[in-house]
Structure 1
């Protein structure tokens, strides 16, 4: 059986779309003829990222990756993130002339610019260099593929996302509901996600909406957001059936981010029969655009109010079109086709290593 090494800086105990996506791929590997192993921050000494303690910065080097590599003996390599683990694995692959694929999950240029005065052009130049050495870079949506192609990224491959429609589903009357929502004035507008500046949660909290606003999630921006005094209810992190009940108990899911590359939470909300309100940007455009499952509008308040009229059956029907089985089919198909080319000849490895 082929052995796929996935190198990622994003892994448990982090709670985000990257981790959920990779977890599903690990579980599906054997169905596609792959024994999947992981190289994460847990394999190295690490320290918490300042101001973002749930993210660990691994002390990963090419030498340390090499020490782990021989025991894992991968036939295929996928580098999922551009952090220290991903970068060290990339250097090791180049030094040995081993092909690898990458994936583009996060808009680091926008995230970095929201915190520090770093021009986005500099960050995108570094990312082009990072991904340019790969034999394929996976992106989640057509709009992201067009955008990155316009920025000079090459060898782009489509890798969609899915949702567990058995876990995330509507709940019948009397089947159980979330007690924390039952006492709130209707309608209930919900946000689920990481509480960080790049998620634009403040835009949601400041909307003049009837009823109640509920926030699920945690992150470095939580204290500031709670201190805004908007009257929103903050419930902290929820997972599994508890999270599904909250989705199902809300009237509209509001997605204020303008930087996400997909937004798995969109599919989770739809699967629970909850329509979506969002800006018409990458992610929502690809998931909601052209469907009857939600409303996209540059005026987020108008979108949220209009989404109250979207049939919950239409939201659920759209989610049923997005499966993790199809996501895995694309992912492992990309891995197989990209690695089908011959490995880089040994005499060419030093030249490629210069791309580091």
Structure 2
């Protein structure tokens, strides 16, 4: 067995073993882990079920999960990279160059500031307060007062990626979901799309927001993306472990990922925000890795030095919103990715 396959087998097993107790305790219905190397072996492990609504169906590499904020890196980030590569965008050009009708202060923000979460935009999405207002959403977002000076402070903000999604639609003259579909099909990602999806055992349900209410299933969990019809730059995409492995292999050899990891602002010691991705130092004998999480219980980790990747898909919000639930599992994924020897 090759060292690459040894690593993939051990990595998938380690994460499966860490996920299993959460499933046994009834805290997560189930999940899927895929570990692989660019051009090399790919190993998938799973445990639990898709959800009670799906009967005994077990998740596999073709089960579709709501990606939540992984949409930022799977849809918006590569589409921005393509626009930059084609000369349609410059990272440091203010939005006013493309959307001069937008109001201040948001019209003076740059694409780079939006990608790195340093825009200073209002940090609560809360689109419900815009209900009934006929003003276009991009204008409403840009008109809000900034809460910090642009480019100076990292603060995770969905509104920036929502603006980027709206910007892409204007730039290309097509809806964001159509642009993303075209990109995904070019990459060979045939199981990735925006919602809605038909309810089936191959689509993982998420949360029942109110007691007695139907569970969110096949439609986007994120409330702001739901208000936007399920199509947004920050959330709304659904995908499978198989498709995200394909995405990871393309991303790992992309100059856009290398540029995105170089252009970074500090978050905390050992972690910084690149263009969309978090960049983490994992030790003196390993290079920096890139990763991103989604609120529903999804993650993707990339190590350009070794060509390794890890995909973790769960519907962890099924039983409620516990933001700390997957912290140990995600930390294990990060260390496992950077382990130079077999993790098993």
Do the structures match in fold with TM over 0.5? no
TM-score bracket for the superposition, by shorter chain length: under 0.3
TM-score, length-normalised on structure 1? Answer: 0.24
Q: Higher relative contact order at CA 8 Å, sep ≥6: structure 1 or structure 2?
A: 2
TM-score, length-normalised on structure 2? Answer: 0.25
Larger gyration radius, structure 1 or structure 2: 1
